Structures are given as C-alpha cells and as structure tokens.
Structure 1
Amino acid sequence: MENKEDIQVEQQETEVFEGREEAMAASAADIRAYAREALHGKWGYGIIVWLLLMLLDTLFSLPEYIADEGSSFGDIWGIISTTFSWCMWFGLMACFLDVARKTHLSYKRLFTAFRNVEFFFKFVITEILQTIFLICWYLLLIIPGIIKYYSYAMTEFILMDHPEYGPLQAITESRKMMYGHRMQLFILGLSFIGWFLLCIITLGIASLWVVPYYSTARAKFYLDIKKEYEKKLAAAPIQEAETIPTEPVEEEKEFEVEE
C-alpha cells in the first residue's frame, strides 16, 4: 500500500494529530483574513469560476442520469464523469492558488488538468492512488484514515507547482509537508463550519462566496507550510554537516632523546 516508513510512524502520527504538534505561525483567523484581503476586487472572478465548474460538471454528468439504470453506458459514463469532476476541482484549486499568490488570473486555469495528455493521465493516476490508499487506511481504522486524508491534502497543490513529479512523489511530498500541520488544517476547516451551514440554509446560494473564500484560505495554508517546508529542507544539509562526527586528530608524541 505504502512504504514501510508509513506503517512504522503511524503511532507517532496519531499522537501528532491528537494535538501534540508544532504551532504554525499563521492561525486560522490570520489565514481567513489573508483570504479576504486577497479576494478584494476579485470576488467576481471567484464566483464565475465556481459557476463555470458547477455548470460544466452538471452538463457532463447528465448522460449518466439519463441512461437506463444498470446499463453499461451509465456505468462507463459514471467513471468518465467522475474523472471530469476530479479535473475541474483540480482547476478550481489552481485558480484560487493564483488568487492567494496575487498573480495574474485566468479562467483557463480551470482546465489545468487538461494542459497535455501526459499531465492528464499523471493527475488521474494520482487521484486513483490517493483514493485507494485512503480506502485501505479507513478499512484498518478510522483515525489512521482521517490522518492520511489530511496528510495527502496538499498533493494537488504540489502537482500544480511540480508537474514533473510522478504520482507517488507528489503524494509522498504532501505527507512530509503536512507532518506537524494536520491539526492546523483540521482547525481551519472547522472554522468554516458556520459558512458551510449557511450554504445549506440558503440552498447553495451562499456557496458563491463561501467556495472562493474557503478555497483561497486553503491555498494560503499551502503557501505557508510550503515556505516552512522549503526552509527545513534548506537547513537540513547544514544541520547534517554540523552533526557529522569528525575523527580526532592524534597529536604527535614527542620523544625525548636521552643523550
């Protein structure tokens, strides 16, 4: 399922998730404040991106519902529709990553997963592997499954920034990057509970603002831990060099020559 390292540190990861983690510099409130500031003047872009995703996703899934129940066409189209939905959500994350970075915005980013055939298949394989891994972990125990869900949460962002990565490389990088930060992401999501309830109460209308808000906050979270992770990687060789034991230099013995 995964390498032996995952299994060996599972108990340690469970303890980390339960609250014994390093504190992250930016709190959930700070991240939400940054997201609101980043979206200032860009709410229209965020709303249109979300509307486009819902429209295209709905249109693409229609044949599945029109097909006769139990028909092979319906089953096949269901797989195609799920794959398309994965790709569109990946594009949505890419759009709001640009918002969080305060860079040039383009609606073309919604179709990032379709940039080329090689990247498309790489992305789909990554999603399939994540799904398989999570199912296996959930079958073992609920807590390890939840931990792994948060461990893999940055995989898509990493694949955006490093399209040259393979599926397993992106998943592993996310696991390493999220170590010590899973609880922070959980708390960030928990801080949006009121907004999610508002979406339900308004029959989804509030999602026009909540989805851009939450997606930008999540992208900001990624940027924060990515920066911290890169600092740790840069410092690792220096620390390693400092801990390398040096062989003691034996002093030459002086011999007294008796006359």
Structure 2
Amino acid sequence: MEDKENIQVEETQTEVFEGREEEMAASAAEIRAYAREAMRGKWGYGVLICLLGLLLYIAPSVPGLFIEDNTTLSYIWSILSAIYSWGLWLGFLACFVDIARKLPNDYTRLFTGFRSIKYLLKIALTFLLQTIFLILWTLLLIVPGIIKAFSYAMTEYILIDHPEYGPLQAITESRKMMDGNRMRLFILDLSFIGWNLLCLVTFGFAALWVFPYFHTARAKFYLDVKAAYEQKLAATALQEAETVPAEPVEEEKEFEVEE
C-alpha cells in the first residue's frame, strides 16, 4: 500500500512540475476576465497612457514637416524617429505589464525604453532583427511568416523584464517560450475581433478603451507563459541533477603499522 501511495504522489508531483498545458494554461476567456478585473479602477490610467503614447508617437513628425524630403537630414531623422518609436512602444507595453501584475500606476514607465542609450539601441536592434527575420520567412511562404510572428511575440516583454538580455537572446527566449503556445495567442487575438470592429464603427474612438483591455490581456498571457516556461526549466534542471551519477567514494585503505 505504501509503495502504491508513493507512486501516486510521485506521478502527481511530476505532472504539476512539468506544467501540463491542458491543466495549467488559461483559456482566452479566462485571460480576458483577468484583464477586466486587473483594469478595475485603472481604466482612466489606461486611457491616459494611450493618449500620451499617441501624442509622443506623433511628436517627431512635426519637425519632420520642415525637413526637405530625400536629403541626408531626412534619412537621419527617419532613422532617429524609428528608434524613438520603438523605445516608446516598449514603454507602452511596460505600463500594461504593470497593470497585469496589479502594480500601482506609474506614468514614468512609458519612458522605460529610454533608461539609457545602450538599452534604447538594444531595443532598436531587436526590432530590426525581428523585422528582417519575418521578411525572410514571409518570402518563403506567408504561413511560416505568420507562425514566426507569434513565435517572436514575447520578445518585447522579455526585454522589459530582462534589460540585460541581448537582441538575439531575447528573440530566442521568446521562440522557446512560445513553443506550443502560438495557437493560444492566436485564439486570444482572434477573440478581440468584435472589439476591433467596434473601433472601426466608432472611427477609432473605442480604441481608447479597447487598447488597454487588449494589451493587458496580452501582458497577462505573457506572465502565464513565462511562469510555465520557468517551471519547465526548473523541472528540467531538477531531472538533470537527479540523473547525474554520484562520484564514487574511494574506500579508505587501512594501513598496518609495523611495530
């Protein structure tokens, strides 16, 4: 009886430790419900983040109006504007990661991408590499390009939590994290089609509420996938540690002392 109970306990621990997707993975409806609950009392903050983000995004276009097209200065300004917009986008996502984590409102998080020049350039290089990879995959076939887009979807979130990661490291980590989760994210995005249609019908006005809702849901998806991935890594490390053979202990030799 004791042996059977021990086997059952070990099987249960193994199942939990491996993070079986059918038991642990939250559905799209559950993620949306969590996002709505996390947004309770924060809708105004979410709307203001969207408005501030929009204003800051279009700000570089104003000086661009006074720069002549097809000149060296215009090309330089386009590159700087792109780098600026990528850094701003990372900060925008960071705000909704905080909401998903139920942290206090912090408008300075919108400028997370500008914590240092090195970090900003790292963000820009990451976006550039993702774009190149997606273009190359799409040139092969449309479907592989779409699949890779979902594989890289967690890259920005990873850079938010791990600013020390390099561009390729963040992209690779996203690809590993999304292994087996791409369809789940696709279904989650698909569940917002009705809300996106509402944005079109209201000429974009509803986006002020839909965007915070959508990006909080995506941030919650990231937190769930990250937790499952880290649990899987811990399980793998434990299994490897258990399978490492112990070093043989040499028996102490007894020496006879001659009298």
TM surpasses 0.5:
yes
Q: Structure 2: how far apart are the matches of 1:64 and 1:221?
A: 37
Q: Structure 2: how far apart are the matches of 1:109 and 1:187?
A: 29
Q: Structure 1: how far apart are the matches of 2:219 and 2:45?
A: 16
Q: Structure 1: how far apart are the matches of 2:172 and 2:61?
A: 32
Structure 1, unpaired ranges of 5+:
1-20, 247-259
Q: Structure 1: how far apart are the matches of 2:62 and 2:44?
A: 27
Shift of 1:244: 5.9
For 2:32, the equivalent position in structure 1 comes to: 32
Structure 2, unpaired ranges of 5+:
1-19, 247-259
Q: Structure 2: how far apart are the matches of 1:43 and 1:61?
A: 28
For 1:223, the equivalent position in structure 2 comes to: 223
For 1:92, the equivalent position in structure 2 comes to: 92
Q: What's the CA shift string for 1:99-142, capped at 9, x where partnerless?
A: 00001221000010100122111111111111111111111111
Paired residues, number: 227
Shift of 1:96: 0.3
Q: Structure 2: how far apart are the matches of 1:243 and 1:130?
A: 38
Shift of 1:86: 1.3
- Supply the AA of the counterpart residue of 1:101: R
SS in 1 for 2:59: helix
Alpha-carbon spacing, 1:197–1:74, altered in 2? closer, same or farther (3 Å): farther
- Supply the AA of the counterpart residue of 2:115: R
Q: Structure 2: how far apart are the matches of 1:89 and 1:210?
A: 17
| Identity percentage of aligned residues | 62
Q: Is residue 130 from structure 1 mapped to residue 130 from structure 2 by the alignment? A: yes
Shift of 1:75: 3.1
- Supply the AA of the counterpart residue of 1:235: A
Q: Structure 2: how far apart are the matches of 1:229 and 1:172?
A: 13
Q: Pairwise CA RMSD of aligned residues?
A: 2.0
Shift of 1:155: 0.6
Q: TM-score, normalised by structure 1?
A: 0.82
For 1:197, the equivalent position in structure 2 comes to: 197
For 2:180, the equivalent position in structure 1 comes to: 180
Q: Is residue 163 from structure 1 mapped to residue 167 from structure 2 by the alignment? A: no
For 1:59, the equivalent position in structure 2 comes to: 59
Q: What's the CA shift string for 1:39-74, capped at 9, x where partnerless?
A: 000011100000001111112123334544434433
- Supply the AA of the counterpart residue of 2:232: K
Q: Structure 1: how far apart are the matches of 2:174 and 2:107?
A: 26
SS in 2 for 1:157: helix
SS in 1 for 2:60: helix
- Supply the AA of the counterpart residue of 1:102: K
Partners of 1:65 and 1:74 within 8 A in 2 = no
For 1:249, the equivalent position in structure 2 comes to: none
For 1:253, the equivalent position in structure 2 comes to: none
Q: Structure 2: how far apart are the matches of 1:187 and 1:96?
A: 20
Q: Structure 2: how far apart are the matches of 1:180 and 1:225?
A: 10
- Supply the AA of the counterpart residue of 1:37: E
Q: What's the CA shift string for 1:11-64, capped at 9, x where partnerless?
A: xxxxxxxxxx95462000000000000000001110000000111111212333
Alpha-carbon spacing, 1:73–1:202, altered in 2? closer, same or farther (3 Å): farther
